[in-house]
Homo-oligomer: A and B are copies of this chain.
Amino acid sequence: MPRRSVAQVDADRGVTLRAAVDLASVIGLEGLTVGRLADELEMSKSGLVGRFGNKQNLQLATLELAVEMFRATVYEPAIVEPAGRARLVAICERWIGYLGEPCFPGGCFLTSASVEFDAREGPIHDAVRVALDRWQRVLEAEIATAMASGELAADGDPADVAFTLNAIAVGTNCDYQLRRDPRALQRGRRAMASLLAPA
């Protein structure tokens, strides 16, 4: 029996969280303040907080949306490719594209949140870790598949390759965000490609 339909409330929540993601990607998930976001949305602080209970829940929901946006942008379109190297290459293409034109104004949200909360403890740190662990496992599984079918020149532990792949992405994000030089994207793409060179 809400004042608005369930669909409308969900839509409002979505708009709210999109604004929260955009804001937090620039000033950080901790720098995100209730007052500023409420201003941005032209609503009152209490009305905004009422949607989530408290600030931490807002932060967690913001993080959740950012994770979903990453998944939908990078991973989702790549699963049409067959598992293994082809899918890996598609993921990396998407990944670099995402880094060059992120869904957020402030660069990869996950990277920012990871660095921001790596030295603190609490629910947000845990949520970041869970999300990144999941992503790491996805990469590992694809790499393992590609290795098993002999598609990769590289051998050894799939976790090693996943680690390096992720490092290249994080490094590319940092470099590109700081210098806004598209050569960072080219270098990231090349580094990923040489890591995934066919057998």
Residues of chain A whose beta carbon lies under 8 Å from any beta carbon of chain B: 25-28, 30-31, 105-107, 111-112, 114-116, 118-120, 128-129, 132-133, 159-160, 163-164, 166-172, 174-175, 177-179, 183-184, 187-188, 190-191
Contacts and interface: CB of A to CB of B under 8 A. Distances in A.
A187 B164 contact: yes
10 contacts: A28-B30, A107-B115, A112-B115, A112-B116, A115-B177, A119-B177, A160-B187, A163-B175, A167-B174, A171-B171
B175 A166 contact: yes
Contact of A28 (B28, B111, B160, B172): B28
A55 to B, nearest CB: 15
Nearest to A112: B115
A115 B118 contact: no
Does more than half of chain A's interface fall in helix, strand or loop, or is it mixed?
Answer: helix
B171 A26 contact: no
A163 B27 CA distance: 26
A170 B108 CA distance: 14
Most B-side CB within 10 Å, residue of A26, A28, A163, A183:
A163
Contact of A163 (B132, B166, B171): B171
Given A111-B115, A119-B25, A164 B191 contact: yes
A116 B118 contact: no
A27 B120 contact: yes
Contacts of A164: 168, 171, 187, 191
Nearest to A31: B30
Contacts of A183: 159
A179 to B, nearest CB: 7
A183 B140 CA distance: 15
